[in-house]
Chains A and B, each alone.
Chain A
Amino acid sequence: MTANNDIAIRLTGLTKTYGSGSTAVQALRGVDMTIRRGEVVGLVGPSGSGKSTLLKCLGAVIEPTSGHIELGGEAIFDDQAGGWQIDDLRSLRRDRIGFIFQAPYLIPFLDVTDNVALLPMLAGKPNAAARERARELIEALDVGHRVGVRVSLLSGGEQQRVAIARSLVNHPPVILADEPTAPLDSTRALAVVRILNDMALRYGAAIIVVTHDEKIIPTFKRIYHIRDGRTEEEAGAGREIA
């Protein structure tokens, strides 16, 4: 049995229906999921299976229709208790959820350091402290030599590493990665997964990686398959990355 304080995310009976009546589309049909701190799990499924909807519900971007979401042991959504349990969802996203996107989506008019430091600054941290924390992560992700460089001058792999640093900067217990390796070749894709594993272990974050990238699926120790809005858990191969 897993200790409660070790659990980063717990979803129970999560559903999401778009529209109503005859045009209603049930994107999620009762998703259950539990992920521990320091764990990287894959969320795999074909297009239209509900991956993005699940990610948006987890990211507090859209409201689930029913079910229960717990983050670090605290209920953040409960349909029985009236829906969202937290008033300021932007602060929730800023402080407790990290996002990594298919493309890095860095802010092009900020340099490497400020792209990462922006989040703690938005949270009200002093600029110097935010930049110090950002530089630590940038160093940890091997892009320290690019500090102060405009992000448009970085390679695709470097940009993705900066995006990973940004997702970690506020010490979130949960990181949602939406196809983070899609634009990368297999070497770079595996490098990104290795970084995610390292970061999960180092910072104790639970990372959910949405993907249908065959190159990286065998690296997960746990995989959730999503089909027609329902998830099935299976043990992954957990292959070591050289």
Chain B
Amino acid sequence: MINLASRDIGHHLGRFIFTGIGLGLLIGVTLTMAGVFRGMVADGRAVIAASGADLWVVQKDTLGPWAEPSSIRDDLYRSLASLPGVAEAANVAYLTMQVQVKGKDVRVMLAGIEPGGLGEPGQVIAGRPLLRGHYEAVADEKAGLAVGDTVRIRRHDYSVVGLARRATSSSGDPMIYIPLKDAQEVQFLKDNDSLVAERARTAANPALNRPGVPGLLDAVLASQTASRNVNAVLLRVAPGFPPDEVKAEIGRWKHLTAWTRHDMEEILVAKLIATSAKQIGMFLVILAVVSAAIVAFIIYTMTLNKQREIAVLKLIGAQDRGIAAMILQQALALGLIGFVVGQISATLWAPFFPKHVLLAPSDAARGFVITMVVCALASILAIRAALRVDPADAIGG
């Protein structure tokens, strides 16, 4: 039996392919949206995995250090390191800020780490990791910096000594790693004018500047300008020791909250990027509906244009199922062209996106199935119209 669908497609090949390309671009956008979400999750997970930590210890009852503000004293790491099962502990500080890179404003996440400790970038692709205690930086390659460049962060210039790959925050901002002490200063110290004003305010406070207590004012001022806080302490658990046991121990005795790697991933996906995920999900639903509407409209119009031929086919004995199969096959062929074009276009334009777009094979497989289902559903309207065509329409009068 002749395949009527393929013959009809062949007859209108140009129009069919152009329609498929149009649909494909829409599907490409849909796949890219899914890729943006996957990229956010993958980047977040990559940073978590690259840190080498098994536990994140943060301020009590907070989701810090990324999902909520968390501030803890930087000497806590000593007591945490002495807990049973803890092999290594390191302070970290994170803050999002804007820096100037070659005259342009670039939004970055600054990570303060102890050189050689936990929390370092996973993949240093050029230069070297941080070694000195001050004024060195390792930047993600997407920050636009090169090894040997200098970047100004607040009051100081930092030499870029290394470049990292896939070191971005869940928001897609490239990370710049600097020594912890510098990051603490950047995060908690104020500018000179504020310091002068604050000192004057403290000196004017009679409770803090008592004439009978020499040295009190200097002690108060010293405590105001010292930065002794970090956002989290990262812990690596000794081999064979369950991280959950150490987490429970910290919760019970240290008045702090500890999160395992799994918890951090949950926080990232379920809390930090949940709204973005919902936003993208809404876009995906809308794009799917729009794609379905386009396919339905195209197939319906193509069917209406063939009404006379369908009447003739019915009159000369073609069965309804054969006519329905022709329309369904055309809708599926349109979906197939659209999907292939969409996948190719998404692959081509993904590297140009500022954020990491991860086109997962599982999403492609899911997208293919959804496209086919949507096209099949979209053909129902046209099939109904075709089945309503009266064979008598082929006969005049």
Contacts and interface: CB of A to CB of B under 8 A. Distances in A.
Given A52-B395, A122-B322, A108 B309 contact: yes
B322 A61 contact: no
B394 A110 contact: no
B189 to A, nearest CB: 76
A110 B8 CA distance: 8
B392 A61 contact: yes
A166 B316 CA distance: 10
B271 interface: no
B396 A94 contact: no
Interface in B310-324: 312-319, 322
Contacts of A127: 1-2
Contacts of A8: none
B317 A110 contact: no
Contact of A121 (B2, B8, B312, B394): B2
B11 interface: yes
Interface in B77-91: none
Q: Considering residues B1, B2, B11, B313, which has the most beta carbons from chain A within 10 angstroms of its beta carbon?
A: B2
A85 interface: no
Nearest to B317: A94
B317 A101 contact: no
A62 B394 CA distance: 12
B281 to A, nearest CB: 41
A117 B2 CA distance: 9
Contacts of A166: 316
B317 to A, nearest CB: 2
Contact of B308 (A59, A105, A118): A105
A107 interface: yes
Per DSSP, chain B at the interface is helix
Given A114-B2, A118-B2, A107 B313 contact: yes
B239 interface: no
Given A52-B395, A56-B395, A99 B315 contact: yes
A10 interface: no
Contacts of A216: none
A138 interface: no
Contacts of B12: 109
Nearest to A102: B396
A109 B11 contact: yes
A125 to B, nearest CB: 9
Contacts of A118: 2, 316
A109 B317 contact: no
Contact of A93 (B309, B315, B390): B315
A101 B394 contact: yes
Interface in A91-120: 91, 93-95, 99, 101-102, 105, 107-110, 114, 117-119
B7 interface: yes
B7 A55 contact: no
A90 B317 contact: yes
A52 to B, nearest CB: 3
Nearest to B9: A109
A51 interface: yes
Contact of A108 (B11, B392, B397): B11
A179 interface: yes
A121 to B, nearest CB: 5
Given A61-B390, A99-B394, A119-B317, 5 more contacts: A99-B395, A102-B396, A122-B1, A122-B318, A178-B395
5 contacts: A47-B397, A90-B318, A108-B309, A118-B2, A123-B317
